[in-house]
Amino acid sequence: MVSSAITQAHQQASEYQNSLNTVNGHEISNLDQVDPREAIWPTYSPPKDIVFEYGEGCELVTESGERYLDFISGIAVTSLGHAHPELVETLKTQAEKLWHLSNLFRVPKAETLAKKLCELSFADAVFFTNSGAESVEAGIKAIRGYFAKNRQPHKYRIIGFEGSFHGRTLGTLAAAGNSAHCNGFIPFDYGFDHAQWGDIDSVNALINEHTAGILVEPIQGEGGICPATEEFLRDLRALCDQRGLLLMYDEIQCGVARTGKVFAYQHSDIAPDVMSLAKGLGGGFPVGACLAKGHVAQCMTIGTHGTTYGGNPLAMAVASKVIELTTTPEFLAEVTRKGEKLTCLLESLCQRYPNVVSRVDGRGLMLGVECVVPNTEVLSLLREHRLLVGKAGKNMIRLLPALIVTDKHIEKAVAIMEECFQKLSDDEHKRVAVVNSVSESSK
Ligand SMILES: Cc1ncc(COP(=O)(O)O)c(C=O)c1O
């Protein structure tokens, strides 16, 4: 008995010693030969052989000098393209002065940017964050905080929508309620209910004495580029007003000039009480913001919320420049014009290659093309032809070029798509012919 216990202890000690000498099962002395990708959590699978060295406007360039046309922009982030000279200059100038203070001290650029965002929107006050999910979380807290401060703490539930996406923190996963993302991570009720997209009756049916607000993307992004109709937003606003709820928009993907208006909700002018921003706001520098009406913001008193990095001088300098450059009437008009041009060309591709792509949706330069063949195949083939696009729900490919995209870039991207769709269409015809001949011969 005793000797087997001793043997077991020796074995455990030796396993422990081995574990100290290994990383991911590889001997430390051999670590140079280990693929460094193994040191990253396997939550993404970027293409192994494409490594970008630098970016220039709408193009990304690999270590070996191959140029790719970037129509995904880091998922709607690099709104002014890569290495925009004014953003580079702004970042450099600020970097030489002051990087970080925390919110224990005033950051004047945060104050002026907040004031500007309020002037441009429905809002009266802003909370700055570092990412989209944090901005949504701040909004969720502000909605609940508003009712808690107004002696209605039982009102805490928020209605989200099927097909929505609000981030990857526990709260934002629960808000979107997508079971594929929640399973294994959200074991209990986080206080969200989920209505059908576009169906006001299903929203109405979920409202009870615990409901505090409604959270909606004016254009669903990840779920498959899907704009809410003006009527739906109007009905949501009316429902909130009648039932004493707060309305929150998530404009993390569709905001900041992406659709040709400063904010996507301005196409219908149906304002929310709270709104989250991120992505394009920093043009590639991590920053987010949660905007709110005064009566909501004033409930978020000292100690109710905070952030170490949010609103730091570097982010505020860059975001102020992005807002300055992207919100002029001329810039917005160009986004609209280029969006219409791209939409028109894409619709023509849908007509010519109906066995590959079926329809176009979206607004401005936030566009999706629904595929008939698997969207992953379309995306890979486009990438082989050096055009980078994204995927979205509903079997879509997502086009989010930088807002400074030129007509030439648009024409080039469409020419690449045409070449790829032609190939996919030919393959599809061949596949159908084989299937037909097999079914004929088996009759
Ligand atoms: C609409 C929307 N909300 C929230 C998020 C989350 O943003 P982040 O990844 O910066 O946390 C995203 C990101 O794709 C988004 O598209």
Ligand 1: distance of its center to the CA of 124 in Å?
23
DSSP 8-class letter at 57: B
Query: What is the pLDDT at residue 416?
Result: 98
Mean pLDDT of 387-412: 98
The span from the CA of 160 to the CA of 163, in Å, is 9
Ligand 1: distance of its center to the CA of 255 in Å?
11
Ligand 1: distance of its center to the CA of 327 in Å?
21
Ligand 1: distance of its center to the CA of 167 in Å?
5
Residues 207 and 296 occupy one common structural domain = yes
**Which residues are 8's β-sheet partners?**
none
Three-state DSSP string of 123-188: CCEEEEECCHHHHHHHHHHHHHHHHHHCCCCCCCEEEEECCCCCCCCHHHHHHHCCHHHHCCCCCC
Using DSSP, state whether 283 is helix, strand or coil.
Answer: coil
pLDDT, averaged across the chain: 94
Which of 327, 351, 372 terminates a domain? The answer is 327
Mention every residue, 6+ apart, whose C-beta is less than 8 A from residue 43. Answer: none
Ligand 1: distance of its center to the CA of 166 in Å?
5
Residues 298 and 381 occupy one common structural domain = no
Residues 279 and 378 occupy one common structural domain = no
CB 77 near ligand 1, within 6 Å: no
- For residue 172, the domain's CATH number is 3.40.640.10
Residue 2 has pLDDT above 50, yes or no: no
Using DSSP, state whether 22 is helix, strand or coil.
Answer: strand
For 280-308, what is each residue's pLDDT tens digit?
A: 999 999 999 999 999 999 999 999 999 99
- Number of structural domains the chain divides into: 3
- Asked if the structure places residue 309 within a domain, the reply is yes
Residues 317 and 340 occupy one common structural domain = no
DSSP 8-class letter at 419: H
- Asked if the structure places residue 109 within a domain, the reply is yes
Query: What is the pLDDT at residue 12?
Result: 63
Instruction: Calculate ∠ Cα 154-172-141, nearest 5°.
Output: 40
Mention every residue, 6+ apart, whose C-beta is less than 8 A from residue 143. Answer: 158, 212, 213, 246, 248, 274, 296
**Which residues are 62's β-sheet partners?**
52
> Is 186 exposed, middle or buried (CB count within 10 Å of its CB: 0-12, 13-18, 19+)?
middle
Token code pair at residue 241: 């007003």
Element (H or E) spanning 235, and its range? helix 230-243
**Which residues are 220's β-sheet partners?**
226
Mean pLDDT of 6-27: 59
Residues 316 and 351 occupy one common structural domain = no
Evaluate the CA torsion angle 386, 392, 395, 401 in order and state its sign.
negative
Q: Which residue has a Cα nearest atom 13 of ligand 1?
A: 167
Residues 316 and 428 occupy one common structural domain = no
**177 neighbors 160 (Cβ within 8 angstroms):** yes
State the CB neighbour count (10 A cutoff) for residue 152. 14
248: Cα separation from own chain's centroid? 16
Residues 172 and 302 occupy one common structural domain = yes
- Asked if the structure places residue 262 within a domain, the reply is yes
Query: Among all chains, which residue has been given the structure tokens 């074995």?
Result: 11
| pLDDT-derived band at 1, boundaries 50, 70, 90 | very low
Which of 327, 351, 370 terminates a domain? The answer is 327
| pLDDT-derived band at 29, boundaries 50, 70, 90 | low
User: Which atom of ligand 1 lies at the shortest distance from residue 169's CA?
Assistant: 11
- Asked if the structure places residue 29 within a domain, the reply is yes
Token code pair at residue 427: 């393959």
Residue 33 has pLDDT above 80, yes or no: no
The span from the CA of 371 to the CA of 380, in Å, is 13
Task: Choose between 146 and 269: higher pLDDT.
Answer: 146
CB 135 near ligand 1, within 6 Å: no
| pLDDT-derived band at 21, boundaries 50, 70, 90 | low
CB 253 near ligand 1, within 6 Å: yes
Ligand 1: distance of its center to the CA of 278 in Å?
8
Mean pLDDT of 360-387: 98
Query: What is the pLDDT at residue 58?
Result: 98
**357 neighbors 371 (Cβ within 8 angstroms):** yes
**Strand-pair category, 246-250 with 390-392:** unpaired
CB 137 near ligand 1, within 6 Å: no
Ligand 1: distance of its center to the CA of 236 in Å?
22
Residue 394 has pLDDT above 80, yes or no: yes
Give Rg (Cα) of the chain: 25
117, 144, 161, 226, 322 from 327: Cα distances, Å: 10, 32, 29, 23, 8
Strand runs (DSSP E) across 264-340, as ranges?
Answer: 274-277, 288-292
Q: Which residue has a Cα nearest atom 16 of ligand 1?
A: 253
Query: What is the pLDDT at residue 439?
Result: 83
Q: What are phi and psi of 434, to 5 degrees?
A: -65, -45
The span from the CA of 20 to the CA of 195, in Å, is 50
**178 neighbors 192 (Cβ within 8 angstroms):** no
**Which residues are 149's β-sheet partners?**
none
Residues 309 and 338 occupy one common structural domain = no
User: Which atom of ligand 1 lies at the shortest distance from residue 134's CA?
Assistant: 11
- The structure's pTM equals 0.92
Domain that holds residue 20: 2-39
CB 161 near ligand 1, within 6 Å: no
- For residue 365, the domain's CATH number is 3.90.1150.10
| pLDDT-derived band at 4, boundaries 50, 70, 90 | low
CB 370 near ligand 1, within 6 Å: no
| pLDDT-derived band at 6, boundaries 50, 70, 90 | low
Residues 211 and 348 occupy one common structural domain = no
| pLDDT-derived band at 124, boundaries 50, 70, 90 | very high
Query: Among all chains, which residue has been given the structure tokens 């040709």?
Result: 260
**Which residues are 57's β-sheet partners?**
82
Residues 300 and 335 occupy one common structural domain = no
Mention every residue, 6+ apart, whose C-beta is less than 8 A from residue 386. Answer: 66, 67, 68, 69, 416
**133 neighbors 168 (Cβ within 8 angstroms):** yes
Ligand 1: distance of its center to the CA of 354 in Å?
32
Mention every residue, 6+ apart, whose C-beta is less than 8 A from residue 185. Answer: 170, 173
The span from the CA of 100 to the CA of 306, in Å, is 15
CB 278 near ligand 1, within 6 Å: yes
Mention every residue, 6+ apart, whose C-beta is less than 8 A from residue 10. Answer: none
Residue 99 has pLDDT above 90, yes or no: yes
Longest dimension (CA), the chain: 85
The span from the CA of 80 to the CA of 56, in Å, is 10
- Asked if the structure places residue 61 within a domain, the reply is no
Which of 274, 301, 327 terminates a domain? The answer is 327
